[in-house]
Structure 1
Amino acid sequence: MSNHSNSEKAGVEERDKTPPNAIGPLDENDKSLSYLAGKGHVATDAHGRSLFVIDPKVESRLRWKLDFYTVPVVSLLYLFCFIDRANIAQSTPSHDEPAHLTFFSSRAGNAKIAGFEEDLGLEGYDFNVVLTCFYISYIVFEIPSNICCKWVGPGWFIPFICFGFGAISICNGYVQNKAQACGVRFLLGIFESGTLPGIAYYLSRWYKRAELAFRLSLYMIMAPLAGAFGSLLASAILELDHFGNVESWRMIFVIEGIVTMGLSFIAFFIMTDSPESAKWLTDEEKDLVRARIKAERIATTIVLDKIDKPKLWRGILCPITLTVGAIFFLNNITVQGLAFFLPTIVATIFPDDTVQRKQLLAAPPNLVGGFFLLAVCWFAWKLDRRVIFTICSAPAVITGYAVFIGSDNPTGQYVAAFLIASSTYFLGPLSNAIISANVVSDTARSSGIGMNVMMGNFGGLISTWCWLKTDAPHYYIGHGINLAVSCLLFILSAGLLFWMKKDNKKRDLRSPEEELAGMSQKEIEDLDWKHPGFRWNP
C-alpha cells in the first residue's frame, strides 16, 4: 500500500497509484480500515484529507443498501406528517362565491373544504390565527427537539414524535370551537417540530456530504405529493357515513391519525440509530459507513459524539448556519406562500373557470416543482456543489413575481407560476445539506440543522399573513413581498459563495501543525469548523 505524502499534490499522486479495488488506508503505518473507523482514531490528516480510498463499486453497493433501509421509512412518515399538518390548510370557493373573495390555501386542506370553518364558527381572520398557533410551537421547539433527537437517538425519537402527532391529529377530530382548535394545533406543532430537522439529521449520520442533498430530496418530495395523495385519501374517507362516533371532516383527522400512529409503531422496529446498531449491516459494512463519514470530518475520532455544549454552539453560531438560515427564511416565505395559496393565484388568473378546473390547474406547477426538486439535488450530489444552485434559483422566482405584478396576461401569469415552483422547493434539502457539509461534529450538525429549520419556519409564519382577502384579486402585496425576498435571497447566496471562497484562501495560508501544537484532542475536536485545516464546502 502506498504511503500518504505530506503534500497535497503528492497525496493525489499516491491515490492515483492505488489499485482500483483498494479499500484501505494510505498512511505510512498501513493501518486497517477498521482501525481508522474505530473510536479514538482519525480518518484524515491535519489538512482534512482522507487517509484511505474506496473502490467505487463497493461504495455504490453500500449506498444502495443504505438507501433501501433508511430513506423509504422516513419518507413515508414525513408524507403522513405533512398530510396531518395540512388537512385544515386548504379551502376552495363554493360554486356561489367569487373565487377571489375566498381565503384559501393549497395543500390537502380537505377538512376545511368539508366544513371545518363552518362547524367551529370561524370568522374573519380566525383561520389565520389557527394556522399561526401551529407555527409558534413549531418554531420554538425546533432546536430543543433536534437536540433531544440526538440525545435519545433518531431511531426512537422520530417514531415517537410521529406517533405523538398522529394522536394529536385524532384530537383534531373532536374540537368544538376556535380555542380548542388553537390548542390542538399548538400541540401538533410541538410534535411535528422535530420531524423535518430530525430526519435531515438522521440521514446525515449515514451519508457523505455530496450524497446527502439528494437523499433529503427523496423524503422532502413527500410534501408536494401529500397534496395529491391526501386529497385522494380524504375523498375516499368522506364517502363513509361515519367512523365510530365522528362524521364529515372529523373522520379525516381520526382515520389519518390512526394510520400515522400505526406506521410510527412499525417504524420503532425498523429504524436504527446508527451503523453500530444496524443488524442489516455486516461488520465490514459498519466499518465502511463510519470511515466514510469520519473521512470528511477533520480531527474526528468518533462519529457519534456525546452532547457537548461548545459543539452545540459551534453548530448554532456557525456563520454558514446563520447565513443559510436567513436564506431558508426568505425562501420559505415563497415556498409556504406558494404551497398555501397556489389555488388562490390560479383562481385570479382564470376567474371564470370551474372550481374543478382551477384545482386541476393548480396541480401541474407543483408536479414540475417536485421534478426539479429531485433533479437539482441529483446534480448537487454528482457535482458535490450546493450553494451555486441556491444562487441559480433566484432569477426564475424574481422573473415569475415580476410577471404577476406587471402583466395581466393569463398565459404569462400561469407560466410564471411554473417558473416559481420549479425554482423554490429544492432549497429545503439543499439548505440542510449545506449546513451538514460545513460543520464537523455530530452534535454541531444536530443544533445547526435545527437552527436552520427554525429560521426557515419564521418564513412560513410570515407567509400565512402575506395573502389576505383584503388584497384580492391581484394580491400585489403578496407578490411584491415575494419579489423583494427573492432579490435579497440572490444577494445573500452570491455573497455567501464569495465569502466561502475568500475565507478558504485565507485558511490555505495557515499552518494546522503550528496552531494545534500543545492542544489536547478534546480541544482540537471542540474547534469544529474553526479548525485551521478545515475548509468550507460550497
Structure 2
Amino acid sequence: MDTSDKQQMPGASVHSTTVEDVTKHDAHEAAERGHVATDDWGNPLVEFDAATEKRLRRKIDMFVMPTVCLLYLFCFIDRANIGNAKIVGFEKDLGLHGYDYNRVLTLFYISYIVFEIPCNLVCKWIGPGWFLPASTTGFGVLTLAMAFINDISAAYAVRFLLGIFEAGMLPGIAYYLSRWYRRDELTFRLSLYMVMTPLAGAFGGLLASAILTLDHFGSLHRWRMIFGIEGIITLCLGLIAFLTVTDRPATARWLTQDERDLAIARIKSERMASTEVLDRFDRAKIYKGIYSPVTLTVGMVFLLAGVSSQGLAVFLPTIVKTIYPKNSVVSQQLHTVPPYVVGAFTAMFIPYLSYKLNTRQIFFIISAPPMMIGYAMFVGTQVTDPYARYGATFLITAGIFVYGTMVNAQVSANVISDTARAAAIGANTMLGNIGGLISMWSYLPFDTPDFRIGNGLNLATTSLIFLLSVGLLLWMRADNKKREKRDAQSLLAGMSLLEIQDLEWKHPYFKWRP
C-alpha cells in the first residue's frame, strides 16, 4: 500500500500546529475501540514516526522489563532450588529412597501442566497487573513453606501447590509483554526475561553456595536455609510488584495521553480486521489460537526442548557431582554456574539477531546442532572423562535456552487477536512443561553415574527439534504461496466483521511469519 494513503501519528516530522492537532486526533481515533487499524491485507492504515516510537519503546522498556525479569528469575529459582537442596541432605533428612525424589518433582509438573492454559486465561480475565504479583506472592509463600517440611507427604503437597502458582508465570509474562510490544519487538523483549532461566541456574548456584556458608538462618539449617531465604526474597518481590506492574498501556500513569494512544494504536495496527486491542473472550478465537498448526508444531518443539532444559535445571548439580565427586559441596554448586553463563549469552544474542532480522524459524534450526553434539559427547564418554562431559554441558546450554524465548515469540507472531494469543501462549507453554514432566524421569538413580537413559533420550529429542524446525519452515513458506493464489474477496463475501475476526489464521489474507 502506498504510504501516502496512510495517516500519521503524533511525532511525525511536521511543524505546522494545525497538522499536529490533526495527527493527535488521528492517534486517538486509531486507538479507540470500534476502528479497524489495518486494510484487508493486514497492512497498517497509520504510519508511525520512527523517532517517536523509539522514545516510547525505551520508556516502556524502563518501566515494564525490570519487574518482569526479576519476577521470572525467582520463579525459576524457586522451581529449581530443590536440585541445590538435593546434594546437601534434602533426601536423607526427609527419608527419601529410590524414586521418591522423582515423584516429588513429578507432582510439581502435574499441577503445572494442568493449570497452564486456565491460568493464562485467568491472567487475561483479571489482568496481568493483578495476576503476576499475586502468583509471585503465592509461590514465594510456598517456597518458604518448603523450609519447614518434615516428611515426603508434606513435600508432595507443597510442590503440587507450587506448580499451580507458577503455572501462569511464563505464559503470563509472554502474554503481558504482547500488550506492549509489536511482534518484531517482542522476540528480543521475551529474551530479556527468558534469559532469567539460565541466569537462575547460575545465580541460584551462587546464592545456594553463599547461603550454605551460614551456620544457620533463624532455626533453619543446611538445605532449609536455601528455601527459607529464597522464599522470603520472592515474597517481598511479589508484594512490591503490586505497585510496579502496570496492567496495560491504557492504565499506565507514567505515559502521557498521546503516548497511551500511540502505544495502543501501534499494537492494534498489526491485528488484521481487529477493532480493539483487548477483545472479549471468544471460544472460536481460543480454539483457533490453540489448534493453529504453528502453535501445535512449535509447542511440540518446546516439549522436546523442555525435556532437556527442565532436566538440566534440576539435575545439573547431580551431574556435576558425578564429574567432580571429591570436590566440596560449595565447589560443586559453583561448577554449575559457567555453563549457565554461556546459556545466558546465547539466550540473549540469538533473539537479538532474530529481532534485527525479523525472523525466527531459522534460529530454531541453527540452535539444535550444538545440543546434539553435546549429548552425543555424554553418550560417547564415561564418567572417567570429566573434562569432555563438563565441556558438553556448555554446548547444551549454548542451544537449549534459546527456545524458551523463540517459541513464545513465534507463537505470538502467528496469531491475531489478544484472546487467541493468550490461548496459544498458554497451550505452547503447557506442551513445553509436559517435556519438563518427562525430564523428571529421564535421570534415574539406577542409571548413575553415566545417565545413559537421560542423555540418550535428550540426544533423540534434540535431533527431533532439528527435523521439526526444518519441516515447519518449509511448510510455512509453501502454505504462504498457496494463500497468494486464493480468491480472498470471494471467500470473505457476505461475512460479517465478527465472522471475519473469528477466522484468525484462516483469514485468506493472513500470512505466516517464519
Q: How does 1:403-422 map to 2 (within 5 A)?
A: 403-407=377-381, 410-422=386-398
> Structure 2: 5+ residue runs without aligned partners?
15-21
Residue 350 of structure 1: how far off its partner (Å): 5.2
Closer/same/farther in 2, CA of residues 396 and 227 from structure 1, 3 Å limit: closer
Are 2:271 and 1:277 equivalent residues in the alignment?
no
Residue 227 of structure 1: how far off its partner (Å): 3.0
Q: Does the aligned pair in 1 maintain the 2:342–2:397 contact within 8 Å?
A: yes
Q: How does 1:501-520 map to 2 (within 5 A)?
A: 501-520=477-496
> Structure 1: 5+ residue runs without aligned partners?
6-10, 24-28, 90-108
Say which of 498, 501, 510 aligns to 1:522: 498
Q: 1 CA distance for matches of 2:394 and 2:205?
A: 21
Say which of 250, 254, 260 aligns to 2:234: 260
Q: Does the aligned pair in 2 maintain the 1:22–1:54 contact within 8 Å?
A: no
> What code does the residue aligned with 2:410 have?
I
Q: How does 1:77-156 map to 2 (within 5 A)?
A: 77-89=71-83, 109=84, 111-156=85-130
Q: Does the aligned pair in 1 maintain the 2:302–2:432 contact within 8 Å?
A: yes
Closer/same/farther in 2, CA of residues 112 and 285 from structure 1, 3 Å limit: same
Q: TM-score, normalised by structure 1?
A: 0.88
> What code does the residue aligned with 1:506 have?
K
Q: 1 CA distance for matches of 2:202 and 2:107?
A: 25
Say which of 65, 70, 73 aligns to 2:64: 70
Q: 1 CA distance for matches of 2:148 and 2:325?
A: 35
Query: C-alpha deviations, 1:237-281, integer Å up to 9, x for none?
Result: 455555555444334323332322221111111111111100011
Say which of 458, 461, 477 aligns to 1:482: 458
Closer/same/farther in 2, CA of residues 532 and 233 from structure 1, 3 Å limit: same
Q: Cα RMSD (Å) of the superposition? A: 2.4
Are 2:271 and 1:308 equivalent residues in the alignment?
no
What corresponds to 1:194 in structure 2?
A: 168
Closer/same/farther in 2, CA of residues 403 and 315 from structure 1, 3 Å limit: same
Query: C-alpha deviations, 1:468-522, integer Å up to 9, x for none?
Result: 2322232222221111111111111111111111111111122333322221111
> What code does the residue aligned with 2:153 have?
A
Per the alignment, in what secondary structure is the counterpart of residue 87 of structure 1? helix
Are 2:464 and 1:464 equivalent residues in the alignment?
no
Per the alignment, in what secondary structure is the counterpart of residue 39 of structure 2? coil
Query: C-alpha deviations, 1:354-373, integer Å up to 9, x for none?
Result: 65554444322211111000
Are 2:433 and 1:439 equivalent residues in the alignment?
no
Say which of 184, 191, 202 aligns to 2:158: 184
Of stretches 114-123 and 249-258 in structure 1, the one that deviates more from structure 2 is 249-258
Per the alignment, in what secondary structure is the counterpart of residue 42 of structure 1? coil
What corresponds to 1:397 in structure 2?
A: 371
Per the alignment, in what secondary structure is the counterpart of residue 182 of structure 1? helix
What corresponds to 1:498 in structure 2?
A: 474
Percent identity for Structure 1 against Structure 2: 55
What corresponds to 1:388 in structure 2?
A: 362
Closer/same/farther in 2, CA of residues 257 and 343 from structure 1, 3 Å limit: closer
Q: Does the aligned pair in 1 maintain the 2:211–2:226 contact within 8 Å?
A: yes
Q: Does the aligned pair in 2 maintain the 1:46–1:513 contact within 8 Å?
A: no
Closer/same/farther in 2, CA of residues 353 and 168 from structure 1, 3 Å limit: closer
Residue 402 of structure 1: how far off its partner (Å): 1.9
Closer/same/farther in 2, CA of residues 61 and 515 from structure 1, 3 Å limit: same
Residue 115 of structure 1: how far off its partner (Å): 2.8
Q: How does 1:29-44 map to 2 (within 5 A)?
A: 32-44=26-38
Q: 1 CA distance for matches of 2:204 and 2:312?
A: 18
Residue 399 of structure 1: how far off its partner (Å): 1.8
Are 2:62 and 1:54 equivalent residues in the alignment?
no
Q: Does the aligned pair in 2 maintain the 1:47–1:512 contact within 8 Å?
A: no
> What code does the residue aligned with 1:198 have?
G
Q: 2 CA distance for matches of 1:245 and 1:345?
A: 31
